[in-house]
Amino acid sequence: MTSPPLARVLVLLATHDGERYLHEQIASILNQEGVDVHVVISDDASTDGTWQLLQEASSDDRITVLPQGRFGSAQHNFYRLIRCADVTGFDAIGFSDQDDIWEPWKLKVHLGALLDTASPVDAVSSDVMAFREDGTTSVVRKSRPQRRFDYIFESGGPGSTFLLSPSSFSIVSGQLQSDEPDMAHDWLIYALIRASGRRWHIDGQPSVRYRQHDANVLGESRGLRPILQRLGQIRSGRFRMDVMEALTSALSVADPTIRPSLEQLLVEVQSNSVGSRSRLLGRAREFRRSPRDRAALGIIFAFNLWN
C-alpha cells in the first residue's frame, strides 16, 4: 500500500546581502519534516556573495530563483514575490527571512492547523525564540489573545512564521496587483486576512529561531536602541501613516459585518482631533494584544505623540 502524497508548501524567501546566514536558513527550510517543500527566492540587488550562493542553490529542483531586481526594502521585495510566484497546486504558502532557523516541525504543525477538519483556520503565525551571538535566548511572545482590531495597529507576529491557505494568499496577491502600500508586508497580510473575516491562529510554541544581529531590519524589542527607533517612527508620523495604510487596505477586502466599524475607525484616525484621540484612548484595549503595548498606545493617543 502506497503512502498518500505529502502536502505541498511553497515558501517565499526575500534576500539582500544575506550571504552570512543564508545557507543555514535555506537548509532549515528544505529539511522540514513531513511536507513537500519548495522555495522561491527574490534577491534585492545584493552586493556580497548572496547572488552566487543562490545560483548554486538553484541546482536543487526544489528552489526557484527569480531574476535579480532592485526593490529598495524587504517589504517591497516580498511584495514582488507575492505578485510573481506561481502558487498553483500548493496546499499552503509561507514566508521566510534570510537569517533565521526554522524548527524542523514548523510547517507540518502549522499545516495541521490549516487543514484541521474539526476547526480549520485560514492562516497561522507563532511566537519566536530570539537568539544572540553570545548564546542567550528569549521568547518573543506574539500569541496573547487577539483583540477586535489589533490587525490595524500591529502584525500577527514576524512574517517568517506566517503560513497561509491558498484562498487567504489569493486575497493578498489580488490586493497587490492594484496597490502596493508602503508598509511592512507581515502587517499588511495580517490586516487583509483578519478584515476579510477569516480565522488567524497565533501559536504559542516558537517555530522559528529569530537571529538577532546588527543588520536586522526589525529585531527583538529589547534594550534602548529599538525603543528609540520606534519612538522616532511614532514622532515622525510613520506609525500613524502605517495605521492608515492598514485601515485603507483592510477596507478594500472587509467583510460586510466589519466594514462599518473600520470606516468609523478610519475617520477617528484621520481626524486626530482631541475628541477623536479621546475616543481612540477609550478603545485602546481593542488595538493591541500586549497590555504593555496597549498602555503605550494610550499614551500616544493621550499626548498626541504620533501627529
The cell numbers describing 112, all together, are 495541521
Question: E-strand spans in the chain?
Answer: 8-15, 36-43, 63-65, 92-96, 101-102, 123-131, 137-140, 163-164, 200-211
For residues 220-240, give the mean pLDDT. 67
Q: What is the pLDDT of residue 224?
A: 45
What is the pLDDT at residue 98?
97
Residue 126 β-bridge partners: 203
**Helix locations, 74-212, DSSP H:** 74-84, 106-114, 150-153, 166-178, 185-195
The model's confidence at residue 133, banded by pLDDT at 50, 70 and 90, is confident
Residue type (1 letter), 144? R
Strand partners, 39: 11, 63
Which superfamily is assigned to 8-211 in CATH? Answer: Spore Coat Polysaccharide Biosynthesis Protein SpsA; Chain A (3.90.550.10)
Choose between 218 and 183: higher pLDDT.
183
pLDDT of 236: 84
Q: With the C-alpha atoms ordered 85, 15, 229, 136, is the resulting torsion angle positive or negative?
A: positive
Q: For 18-41, write each residue's pLDDT tens digit.
A: 999 999 999 999 999 999 999 999
Question: What's the whole-model pTM score?
Answer: 0.94
What is the mean predicted confidence (pLDDT) over 108-122? 94
Q: What is the mean pLDDT of residues 247-270?
A: 97
Dmax (CA) of the chain:
70
The confidence score (pLDDT) of residue 228 equals 53
Q: What 3-state class would DSSP assign to 203? A: strand
Domain with CATH 3.90.550.10 in the chain: 8-211
What whole-number percentage of the chain has pLDDT above 70? 93
Taking alpha carbons only, the member of 103, 100, 101 closest to residue 217 is: 100
Q: What is the pLDDT of residue 280?
A: 96
Q: Is the pLDDT of residue 290 over 90?
A: yes
Plot region of 237 (φ>0 → left; ψ -120 to 50 → alpha; else → beta)? left
Instruction: Return d(Cα 260, Cα 250) in angstroms, integer.
Output: 12
Residue 1 has pLDDT above 80, yes or no: no
- At residue 129, φ and ψ (nearest 5 deg) are -105, 105
pLDDT beyond 90 at 135: no
Least confident of 49-58, 163-172, 293-302: 293-302
